[in-house]
């Protein structure tokens, strides 16, 4: 485990509003005492391919890079910290698709390749870094193992669930182990993630200090410190995976004809949709006005959230829920059923999905790349209507769901939550994020939750709003922000 050395930094610059901003960088700091040696893919094969993937710019890679982190802070914030006023910490996860991520460096935001009309809705994913530096935060970018991480010989899977959340917890523990050396305030850690990263941000916020993770943390030599955080920022969290298929089909099932489902797909969709009412009733959730959320009320609640979203952006709220869902399907095809646990049912030809969905890859084993994680899909895959998940699989699925830890006696829940789900995002059902917000409310939290109008599956947008919220919860007693 690397100890933070205040003097071992590199000076760097980034441009903000046309002006240079000088900052200090500490990169490649291993955050656990027994890191797991991992195979580092060659350039061009790290994470997803695409114009915004910067991982090939990570230098000085070692077999322990997935369990290391980078620290950044502006010169101005460093000077303030030296005078005794430590800065908040933005823990920025770059996990996507439950894949592994290296601790990427801060780079200058490249030009957007999208048409200008779309820039408002799909933001540049790097713009948050210069903004956070200018706001005075210490930025921490951790690496983490993921669903495709292999041992150094390439023969064994070493990043399956719950490896990624264990690594993120270890990173938080490392921060606290170095609290006297860091310029950042380890009691003001704000986690931020999008998609699967949003799910991990929520899980990090919900499961603080839970002893179920202790054996995994001990195995990698994590510091003997707390791993709870101050705030969780969750953009479009792909979470509650074991119930995500039924939620998805319950929402979109009635429009199966518009989405050109085959007869087999319609049957699968019907079966899954029928499972959701009992699940949502069992949750016992209520909306902001104290009205119960169930299969009879939830459609109207989702429509209200969408209307509120439209009004927030000055758009007429005169559409029905079916009209809105159909419009989403016109922009991006709705997923075929089952949307998440689809191993053996909807195999896809490309190399990432060839053995099921990204979520199937999460729950593989050391020797199996992908596995089912619900009894329903396991039974469909095997043709055995009595097949059930192993106890080991049930435990692993449990450890990946933030909903299991909210209000749970042995977990320290983050006091502050910011949750956004794009109103044009079809990657998971709207109820997944609204259930998260509702459960937080019922356990004493007041999440800042909204469906964001026009937004597809993306995050770190509306930075004025985001940083305004963070500054409010951090500096609420600071006269500079009165």
What percentage of the chain exceeds 90 in pLDDT? 77
Q: What whole-number distance in Å separates Cα of residue 325 and Cα of residue 308?
A: 16
Residue 476 above 60 pLDDT?
no
pLDDT greater than 60 at residue 19? yes
Using one digit for the tens of pLDDT, what is the confidence trace for 343-395? 764 444 444 344 678 999 999 999 999 999 999 999 998 899 999 999 999 99
- What average pLDDT score do residues 179-187 get? 97
How confident is the model over 141-154, as pLDDT tens digits? 999 999 999 999 99
Whether the model clears a pTM of 0.75, i.e. scores above it, the answer is: yes
Q: How many residues does the chain have?
A: 482
Distance in angstroms (rounded) separating the CA atoms of residues 451 and 454: 9
**Tokens 């439209």 sit at which residue?**
310
Q: HSE (CB half, 13 Å, CA atoms) of 38?
A: 30
CATH of the structural domain 10-240+403-481, one choice from 3.30.230.10, 3.40.50.2000, 3.40.1800.10, 3.40.50.1820: 3.40.50.1820
First to last CA, the chain: 41
Residue 112 has a pLDDT of 46
Examine the pLDDT at 412 and tell me if it is beyond 70: yes
pLDDT band at 329 (very low <50, low <70, confident <90, very high): confident
Other Cβ atoms closer than 10 A to 303: 18
At how many degrees (to 10) do helices 241-252 and 263-283 cross?
Answer: 120
Q: For residues 189 and 171, what is the distance between their CA atoms, to the nearest angstrom?
A: 11
pLDDT score, position 244: 98
Q: What tens digit of pLDDT does each residue of 218-259 get?
A: 999 999 999 999 999 999 999 999 999 999 999 999 887 777
pLDDT digits (tens, 9 = 90+) for 43-62: 655 444 333 344 556 778 89
SS (H, E, C) 206-233: HCECCHHHHHHHHHCCCCCCCCCCCEEE
Whole-number Å distance between alpha carbons of 372 and 361: 9
pLDDT for the residue numbered 257: 77
Closest CA to 363 of 98, 47, 153: 98
- Between 263-283 and 430-442, two packed helices, what is the crossing angle to 10 degrees? 10
Domain locations in the chain as residue ranges: 10-240+403-481, 340-400
Mean pLDDT, residues 462-482 taken together = 75
Q: What is the pLDDT of residue 478?
A: 38
The 10s digit of each residue's pLDDT in 430-456 is 999 999 999 999 999 999 999 999 999
The tens digit of pLDDT for each residue in 113-130 reads 443 444 456 666 668 999
The chain-wide mean pLDDT, for the chain, equals: 89
- Does an H or E element contain 184, and which? strand 184-194
What is the DSSP-derived secondary structure letter of residue 335? P
Query: What mean pLDDT is predicted for residues 296-303?
Result: 97
Rounded CA separation 207/192 (Å) = 15
Check residue 52 and give its pLDDT.
37
d(CA 327, CA 451): 16
CA separation for the pair 340, 256 (Å, rounded) = 17
Instruction: Report the alpha-carbon angle 329-333-338, nearest 5.
Output: 105
pLDDT the model gives residue 110: 55
CA distances from 242 to 196, 313, 396 (A): 14, 33, 11
């Amino acid at each position: 485990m690397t100890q933070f050395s205040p003097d071992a930094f590199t000076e760097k610059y980034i441009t903000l509003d046309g002006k240079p901003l000088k900052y200090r960088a500490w990169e490649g700091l291993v955050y656990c005492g027994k890191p797991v040696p991992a195979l580092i893919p060659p350039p061009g094969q790290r994470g997803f391919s695409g114009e915004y993937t910067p991982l090939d710019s990570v230098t000085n890679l070692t077999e322990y890079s997935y369990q290391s982190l980078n620290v950044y802070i502006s010169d101005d914030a460093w000077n303030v910290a030296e005078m005794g006023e430590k800065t908040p910490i933005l823990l920025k996860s770059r996990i996507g698709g439950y894949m592994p991520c290296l601790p990427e460096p801060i780079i200058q935001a490249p030009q957007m390749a999208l048409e200008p009309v779309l820039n408002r809705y799909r933001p540049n994913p790097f713009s948050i870094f210069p903004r956070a530096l200018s706001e005075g935060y210490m930025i921490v970018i951790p690496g983490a193992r993921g669903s495709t991480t292999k041992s150094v010989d390439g023969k064994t899977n070493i990043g399956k669930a719950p490896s990624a959340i264990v690594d993120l917890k270890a990173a938080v523990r490392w921060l606290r182990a170095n609290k006297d050396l860091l310029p950042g305030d380890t009691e003001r850690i704000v986690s931020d993630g999008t998609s699967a990263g949003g799910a991990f941000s929520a899980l990090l916020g919900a499961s603080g200090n839970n002893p179920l993770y202790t054996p995994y943390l001990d195995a990698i030599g994590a510091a003997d410190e707390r791993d709870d955080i101050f705030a969780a920022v969750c953009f479009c969290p792909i979470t509650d995976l074991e119930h995500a298929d039924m939620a998805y089909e319950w929402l979109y099932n009635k429009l199966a004809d518009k989405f050109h489902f085959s007869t087999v797909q319609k049957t699968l969709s019907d079966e899954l949709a029928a499972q959701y009412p009992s699940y949502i009733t069992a949750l016992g959730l209520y909306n902001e006005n104290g009205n119960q959320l169930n299969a009879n009320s939830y459609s109207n609640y989702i429509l209200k959230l969408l209307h509120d979203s439209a009004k927030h952006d000055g758009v007429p709220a005169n559409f029905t829920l079916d009209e809105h869902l159909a419009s989403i399907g016109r922009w991006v095809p709705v997923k075929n059923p089952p949307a998440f646990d689809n191993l053996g049912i909807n195999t896809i030809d490309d190399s990432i999905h060839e053995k099921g969905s990204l979520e199937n890859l999460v729950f593989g084993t050391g020797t199996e790349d992908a596995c089912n994680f619900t009894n329903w899909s396991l039974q469909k895959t095997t043709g055995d209507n009595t097949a059930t998940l192993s106890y080991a699989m049930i435990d692993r699925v449990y450890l990946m769901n933030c909903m299991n830890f909210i209000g749970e006696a042995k977990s320290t829940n983050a006091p502050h939550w910011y949750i956004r789900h794009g109103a044009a995002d079809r990657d998971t059902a709207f109820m997944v994020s609204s259930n998260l917000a509702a459960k937080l409310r019922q356990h004493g939290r007041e999440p800042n939750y909204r469906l964001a109008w026009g937004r597809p599956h993306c995050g770190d947008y509306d930075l004025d709003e985001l940083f305004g919220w963070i500054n409010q919860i951090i500096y609420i007693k600071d006269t500079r922000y009165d």
